[in-house]
Structure 1
Amino acid sequence: MTTRLNHAAAAPKVIQAMMALEKASRSQGLEPPLLELVKTRASQINRCAFCLDMHTREARAAGETEERLTMLAAWEEATCYTPRERAALSWTESLTLLAATGAPDSAYAAMAAEFSPEEQVALTLAIVTINGWNRFAVGFRAEPARAAT
């Protein structure tokens, strides 16, 4: 894979705006391990190697186990996730695959049962943000940090 464009160097103000979204999504009180599961799952769906590399490392640093990271691609069948995590992962998939899912009422109801209204907005912002990052990294073929070493 060859990097197409260094998007951060090409448009630093755009990346500053994305970083502001990232900072906002991290500062809304949601648990860091939950956020890393959401970011990793969206990155799996979007096939973003750069973000998978980053967020699996950050998940481990936040205390996530190898078993749970390995099982994430099959979270619906796995028993190692809490109801809150399962609701967040369902909402993540619904919004990441929006054209196919239409954000079904069942996914919203599960998420609303586990998250306060403020948390629902914060979770949705986190999903919006990681999907944006995935599109930059996949679109411009950003190279994962571990691949560069």
Structure 2
Amino acid sequence: MSQRIDYYKVASNGLKPLLAMESYLGEQTTLDPLLKELIKIRVSQINGCAYCLNMHTTDTRKLGETEQRINCVSAFEECGFYSDQEKSALRLAEKMTLISDNHISNELYDDLRTYFDEKEYCDLVLTISQINSWNRIAISMGTTI
């Protein structure tokens, strides 16, 4: 597939809110940067976004993450090398990405709140929403690696 439209050029004003959200998530959240990258990888796996998978696995390596944890994120539930906090956040990422089939239960919310305060929970939801938006844009526009 080749790039269909240079959306940064054609719709730059439409991308400004997404870029502002990136700035917020990068500068005004206390979420662990590695956790945010693991979330972006898992969501991009579910959505099948090669461009974002390539970007975020590269970014995760730059932050010092191990190949084992990068390679196994799709099977995080079966792996003992993800923390309970990370697993809880990755569960939310999966549920939100496939939300029409998987509503966010009170049990999952309660579990998340044992690890994340109100602002951090909001920032998790925004992080997951943001990468879902980028995946959909990249896939629809034919963004290539």
| Cα shift readout 1:24-57 (whole Å, capped 9, x = no counterpart) | 1222111110100011111011100110010001
Deviation at 1:8, TM superposition (A): 1.0
CA distance in structure 2 between the aligned counterparts of 1:108 and 1:41, rounded to whole angstroms: 19
Q: TM-score, normalised by structure 1?
A: 0.93
CA distance in structure 1 between the aligned counterparts of 2:35 and 2:88, rounded to whole angstroms: 11
Q: Counterpart in 1 of 2:2?
A: 2
| Cα shift readout 1:44-79 (whole Å, capped 9, x = no counterpart) | 111001100100011011111100011101111111
SS in structure 2 of the partner of residue 45 of structure 1: helix
Q: Counterpart in 2 of 1:75?
A: 76
CA distance in structure 1 between the aligned counterparts of 2:62 and 2:107, rounded to whole angstroms: 32
Q: Counterpart in 1 of 2:88?
A: 87
| Cα shift readout 1:91-148 (whole Å, capped 9, x = no counterpart) | 111111111101222322221111111100011111111111001001111012xxxx
Equivalent runs, 1:1-149 vs 2, <5 Å? 1-27=1-27, 28-144=29-145
CA contact (8 A) 1:25 1:129 kept: no
Is 29-38 or 108-117 further displaced after alignment? 108-117
CA distance in structure 2 between the aligned counterparts of 1:106 and 1:44, rounded to whole angstroms: 25
**CA RMSD of superposed structures (Å):** 1.0
CA contact (8 A) 1:26 1:126 kept: no
Gaps in structure 2 of 5+ consecutive residues: none
Q: Structure 2: which amino acid aligns with 1:97?
A: L
CA distance in structure 1 between the aligned counterparts of 2:137 and 2:14, rounded to whole angstroms: 11
CA contact (8 A) 1:33 1:62 kept: yes
CA contact (8 A) 1:41 1:73 kept: yes
CA distance in structure 2 between the aligned counterparts of 1:17 and 1:118, rounded to whole angstroms: 20
Deviation at 1:14, TM superposition (A): 1.4
CA distance in structure 2 between the aligned counterparts of 1:119 and 1:100, rounded to whole angstroms: 25
Deviation at 1:86, TM superposition (A): 0.6
TM superposition outliers: structure 1 runs of 4+ over 6 Å: none
CA distance in structure 1 between the aligned counterparts of 2:37 and 2:113, rounded to whole angstroms: 20
**Number of corresponding residues:** 144
